[in-house]
Chains A and B, each alone.
Chain A
Amino acid sequence: MSLYYLTAHELHDLLIKKEISAVEINKAVFDRIGSVEDSVKAYLTLTREQAMKTALEVDDLIGAGRPIPPLAGIPIAIKDNICAEGVRTTAASKIIYNFIPPYDATVVKKLADQQIAMTGKTNLDEFAMGSSTENSGFFATHNPWNLGCVPGGSSGGSAAAVAAGEAVCAVGSDTGGSIRQPAAFCGVVGIKPTYGAVSRYGLIAFASSLDQIGPFTRDVTDCALMLNAICGHDPLDATSSTYEVPDFRRCLVHDIKGLKIGVPREYLSEGIDAEVRQVFEKAMSQFELNGAKMEETSLPHLGYSLPVYYLIAPAEASSNLARYDGVRYGFRSEGAQDVVDMFMKTRSQGFGAEVKRRIMLGTYVLSAGYYDAYYLKALKVRTLIKEDFNNAFEKFDILLSPTTPSPAFRFGEKTGDPLTMYLSDVFTIAVNLAGIPGLSIPCGFVNGLPVGLQLMGRPFSEGKLLQAAYTFEQSTDHHKKHPEL
């Protein structure tokens, strides 16, 4: 097995046994980046020097016989909408193409405290608005399993980097599926934690009531390690929860006997590929084999989640993105007549087409005369969707669905019509609207492309999701497969 395809916990074991050094690990990963990045294009910025410096420090600690944190020296990539002090952070938008954050996001700081080796900043759809990275203001990322296909989005760069061996773990953000959908498309583990579990301080805001940061890893054990590192209360984020974070490693138990799992029929009725359905059914029988009690259930308002999401998210985005006006940072259009002209020219030249479309949509639904009919209506239906989940979790510990209705699509396949692209999030967005955790784990392949399984749970039940995912993973070998690049 190549070094760059080992997991963080495997590498940690080798490090403390002194069978390998952190510098060797990072050299292997940066060599891998050197050989495949031209075809994958996962990164917007590489921070090799910084990573090697941290690796040296970790090696010194080990040499001195000092203990090291579980993720020390591990090469980890960060999505480029999360601020790292002194490292260019663009959200893949031309409007802040040159922004150097004066501070670290809380997750970046927490990972730095673990002495991770940050490999660089990964590509995304501009401001995380998209499902394929085709909306990046710079270039698209390619799916390591099939370079003609998209890696998913918006955290496509993070997912592709982990799948291709260009990072051992990565951090992304998920507003409507932006971690789980690319994790499914790239065959890696991805979790969107409960809203409020991870601080959003330093995350470039898209839709603040839905945004949540989470990890990409190659197995469930690494997912637990990453959650241990990034969860927890942060006074700098007013929506950060004060709940007590468990040690997620203790949830890695190979046992789901008696676990009550519901399968909402709405996920299997419309628009799902026959082959994805087959793979999903096989995964369901694996859960049954492991002793879970499976039962069909219903989330009656699930079908409304797409319209509700595409009213609420653009509304919040239109407000959040008002700050990009060419005054304090980023791009400014030259030659404007006055300040309003400068705002208008800067924003028109700096934002890409999808971002403008969502700002237009969001401004429209919030504008006088339309607020009640669209935005307020969406908030009310959001309540109904949330209640559907509450009702389901009275009876079930976990809900199960495919992460996406079909595997990764080809470039250009959905760019012609925004609605077609929006539909690729149809299975993931309800989780954000309800604020609950959702985890995607590899569960098989269709025509050589990975398929993801989505586990959903009550708020702050990440531990239970990890336990169920771990049991599934230990009984299968999908996570051991890697793309040939």
Chain B
Amino acid sequence: MPEQLVYAMEVSLNGLMAGVMYALVALGFVLIFKASGIFNFAQGVMALFAAMTLVGIQTGQVPFAHMINAIFGTKIHHFGWEIHSVIAIVLTVFVMIALAWAVQRFIFKHLVGQEPIILFMATIGLAYLLEGVADLMWNSEIKKLDVCLTDGTCLPQGINLAIDEATYNIFGYGFFIDNLDITATIIAIILVAALVAFSQYTKQGRAMRAVADDHQAALSVGVSLNYIWILVWSVAGFVALVAGIMWGAKSGVQFSLSLIALKALPVLMLGGFTSIPGAIVGGLIIGVGEKLFEFFMSSNDLAGALFGFTMNATENWFAYVLALIFLVFRPQGLFGEKIIERV
């Protein structure tokens, strides 16, 4: 098999894995948009906030320590204990539920019936507020993320040796697949299955779908909009936590985590804002597309031989170009709902 084809296969596999990581972020956007029609600009910051809270709880950091010390002249930073990852994750989920309640209670409850652009602007404000609160609570340091199970198994990173060996035996070249990406893929599959099961088989899930379909109709049969929106923001907060853990394991937990939202936008444009499968498929298409394009354009043997020049760092813009091309043919995205409005 030609060398370049083998490399392209490796790149494609890695693209699929990267796509799953993008989809993890996109899922949070879809959940909130589907249920409330709000494009949540703060989803990336929610991932940052969740990951920082997780590490903060895990390492026994005192929230708002700098502020407390500055006001009272104390020198407290840590409680002096460490909490196991599993318990820390559960506690973080509670914090995200509290955040969902606060967002609903103090922001969106007062904006019911407002134009979508107003709601969108409110989420921009929420993003800045949440970023500032995260900074005050947990400070700006870059934190190492160690998430382990009760049996001591931690999030794995680095090359998967089994795949490396297997592909070497077949192609004479061992593929690199990151163990973290494989873990993220498994978690994403479980997450999507759980979300689908929740929305199909639970009372709350069905109520969520009812609200997503028609607010007024849901209200008329006694579904509490307030409760459902808190529920949706809580679920989105949980998804943000998962995304924050996976991305934070790569780069450390730091403020740049909020920028992962940029990776989700082309996925949403392509997959549609209202479809969970769309977020997954969109993520995969964007992941593979951008990686293959980068591989092709940066190769002397491919783009160099064909065009006489090579290009680097194409991924960011290519993802958007790919999404725009899809939009030309399907403005609602691959799986989005086609809305026809009659005047």
**Chain A partners chain B:** no
Which B residues are closer than 8 A to A by beta carbons? none
